[in-house]
A = this chain, B = another copy of it.
Amino acid sequence: MSRLHKFAQAPIIVVVSAVVAFAQTSARDYRRAHEHQILTEFTRLLAIPNVASDRENIRRNAQFIFEMMQRRGLNPQLLEAKSKDTPPTVFGEWKAPGATHAIVLYAHYDGQPVDPKQWTASPPFQPTWRSAAFESGGKIVTLPDNGEINPEWRLYARAASDDKAGVMAILTAFEALRAQDIGPSLNLKFIFEGEEEAGSPRDQNVDVTVYGAKRPLHSGHYGNWAPNPAMLLARLLASMKDDTGRVTIAGWYDGVESLGEAERRAISEAPAYDDELRSQLGLARTEGNDRSLLEVINEPSLNINGMSSGDVGPLARNVIPTTATAVLDLRLVKGTDHQRQVQRLIDHIRKQGFYVIDQDPTDAERKQHALIAKVTARSGGYNAERTRMDWPISIAVIGAVQSTSKDPIVKLPTSGGSLPLAIITDHLRTTTMTVPIANYDNNQHAENENLRLQNLWDGIETWAAVMMIRPKF
């Protein structure tokens, strides 16, 4: 997803005018005339591996985007952190004559880790077109040399959606406006960063490891006697939620800031798509006794990303494993504090009888404690943000996005992506809004990530419209 934020929360009046609609039409015309050129640039970008820990390639991504911005006259700079291990941020700007305010346009160029074995559709960094979603039987197709491209086609690659689509849509929208000499009405600042998915700070992930014997034991000789860490972990995890999916950790939902009037209305106005989604995902029932997704996403969550002990499949052996590990992610909402939330988790683990440490136990610790859990938070984490929907800048952006669609747009008070919103809000003293453009079934964060082409086309128009908002201060 791509996001934008507006400097300063000063009340502004926005006129969603004919100019916005004009921007959208212009962007469409330009895109139609340049589809092949746009997609050539996009697939070259997607072919550069972008896992944040791959230092060499992540810099190649930054360099490629730097050159994209040079071609568009954006005077880019590569902003380096103190540590050379930190991916550079690519910064650029465009000054509107006489403008005194700016919109900052943000997207990230790094992607989630990949396990190539799991990419059954095509390799993650070999951008591949399919006639439809792989899961629906879409076949591999070749881009025609010229002529219009079927907008239902899917482009498969890591970050095709999350979030190189954002980089591409933003820069193409700007290019389209400038090519037709249409001037954005505010100053524009572009920030594309490379450690959203894996950098620090990031999502609040917590690794939990519990321990059995120091060496793997033959299950026939030691079963009924040696504690099995997989079972200890299962019991621990099971203690964290009830059978409706509600988190049972004490205080988990404390402090959550209630939604305002505008936010509650936005949720009630959104189309009810839970049944359709359940059907597509093959789920007979969802958590929270089938409460709507738009509602439950406004509550803090606790999710298991992964769980592992010993081996399954052909490598499974008749052993009692030595350890069992789960990776949890803690999603926050406005009003919850990340440190307090991690502390509540640790307190809960202690309450289940575990001695909690942050490294592997020593022999002395093993002697003293029957239940030991290593609990480590992957990074400092940060808190959740929510921008009020009834502020003028919110109304302006909503209006611009709405102008690109005949159907009513869906407005969500809270979205699940964990971005450095809190940092932006705190450091730049401004507020943020998220404008997602990818298809809902894009497999982001998973194997076989993809983008539906029409979503990129729509995204370009949406961003062009947003760049043309004309607030009156």
Contacts and interface: CB of A to CB of B under 8 A. Distances in A.
Interface of A: 53, 112-113, 115, 135, 203, 205, 207, 211-228, 230-231, 233-235, 237-238, 240-241, 243, 245, 279-288, 291, 293, 296-297, 299, 301-321, 324-327, 329, 331, 361, 363, 366-370, 415-418, 441, 443-447
Contact of A314 (B53, B227, B234): B53
B220 A231 contact: no
7 contacts: A53-B314, A216-B443, A220-B331, A222-B416, A282-B367, A305-B311, A306-B309
B370 A284 contact: yes
A312 B318 contact: no
Given A230-B304, A305-B318, A446-B319, A293 B222 contact: yes
Contact of A287 (B227, B324, B415, B416): B227
B297 A219 contact: no
B305 A220 contact: no
Contact of A219 (B224, B230, B235, B329): B329
A368 B279 CA distance: 11
Task: Please tell me how many copies of the chain the complex holds.
Answer: 2
A112, A115, A282, A415 — most chain B CB neighbours (10 Å)? A282
A218 B115 CA distance: 16
Given A220-B415, A307-B309, 17 more contacts: A53-B314, A205-B318, A213-B281, A216-B447, A219-B329, A219-B445, A224-B287, A225-B293, A227-B286, A228-B303, A231-B240, A231-B245, A234-B235, A284-B367, A305-B316, A312-B327, A318-B445
A212 B215 CA distance: 33
A17 to B, nearest CB: 33
Contact of A224 (B218, B220, B245, B320): B245
A88 to B, nearest CB: 22
B316 A223 contact: no
Contacts of A279: 367
A172 to B, nearest CB: 24
Nearest to A161: B218
A287 B225 contact: yes
B284 A317 contact: no
A370 B447 contact: no
B366 A297 contact: no
B237 A231 contact: yes
Nearest to A209: B312
Given A279-B367, A299-B224, A416-B220, A310 B317 contact: no
A132 to B, nearest CB: 14
A180 to B, nearest CB: 35
Contacts of A304: 228, 230-231, 234, 309-310, 321
A464 to B, nearest CB: 26
Nearest to A363: B282
Contacts of A281: 213-215, 217, 226
A312 B306 contact: yes
A308 B312 contact: yes
* Those 10 A-B pairs whose CB atoms lie nearest each other, nearest first: A220-B416, A306-B310, A223-B301, A216-B446, A221-B416, A285-B370, A282-B366, A234-B237, A213-B281, A238-B238
A205 B317 CA distance: 9
Given A227-B245, A231-B241, A293-B225, A318 B307 contact: no
Nearest to A316: B327
Contacts of A284: 366-370
B224 A283 contact: no
Nearest to A325: B312
Contact of A234 (B238, B293, B302, B306): B238
A137 to B, nearest CB: 14
Contacts of A313: 325, 327
Contact of A319 (B243, B369, B445): B445
Nearest to A242: B235
A315 B220 contact: no
Contacts of A317: 112-113, 305, 445-446
A314 to B, nearest CB: 6
A214, A284, A320, A370 — most chain B CB neighbours (10 Å)? A284
A425 B9 CA distance: 84
A321 B417 CA distance: 17
